[in-house]
């Protein structure tokens, strides 16, 4: 009688081990994806910060240069500000097409990719 229960118990034990192994595998994959996306987000923020500082100083220099060409100390900065206002309006009008969809697609592609970095 005990021999009849033994295969069932062994099958149950194997099934439990399989489920636990599968759970561990999924947990590891999710952890890896979260770590990859987080690392790329931090990398992007650092690069964006450095590029922003670069553009800030270039814009300051350009503002001073345009101001010196026009003969007063403020007109170059107004021109640069107007350019950025125009860029902001363009982004606000097309934010879904220009910003949201590409970023969402890039994040989804990274999460669903199977390549190891």
In this predicted structure, the answer to whether residue 95 has a pLDDT above a threshold of 50 is: yes
Q: Does 76 fall in a domain?
A: yes
Q: Which domain, by its residues, includes 34?
A: 2-112
In this predicted structure, the answer to whether residue 110 has a pLDDT above a threshold of 80 is: no
Rounded distance between C-alpha atoms, residue 63 and residue 57, angstroms: 10
Q: Phi/psi class of residue 71: alpha, beta or left (left: φ > 0; alpha: ψ in -120 to 50)? A: left
Total number of domains in the chain: 1
Record the tokens describing residue 109, joined without a space.
Answer: 């592609």
The stretches of 1-117 forming alpha helices (DSSP H) are 2-70, 75-93, 95, 101-112
pLDDT of residue 32: 86
Rounded distance between C-alpha atoms, residue 14 and residue 29, angstroms: 22
Q: Does 40 fall in a domain?
A: yes
Rounded distance between C-alpha atoms, residue 44 and residue 31, angstroms: 20
Q: Does 117 fall in a domain?
A: no
Per-residue confidence at 117, pLDDT binned at 50, 70, 90? very low
């Amino acid at each position: 009688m005990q021999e009849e229960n033994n295969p069932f118990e062994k099958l149950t034990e194997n099934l439990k081990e399989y489920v636990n192994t599968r759970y561990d595998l999924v947990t590891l994959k999710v952890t890896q994806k979260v770590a990859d996306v987080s690392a790329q987000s931090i990398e992007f923020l650092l690069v964006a910060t450095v590029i922003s500082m670069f553009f800030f100083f270039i814009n300051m220099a350009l503002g001073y240069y345009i101001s010196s060409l026009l003969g007063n100390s403020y007109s170059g900065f107004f021109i640069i500000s107007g350019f950025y206002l125009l860029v902001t309006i363009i982004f606000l009008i097309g934010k879904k097409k220009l910003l949201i969809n590409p970023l969402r697609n890039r994040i989804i592609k990274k999460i669903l990719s199977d390549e190891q970095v």
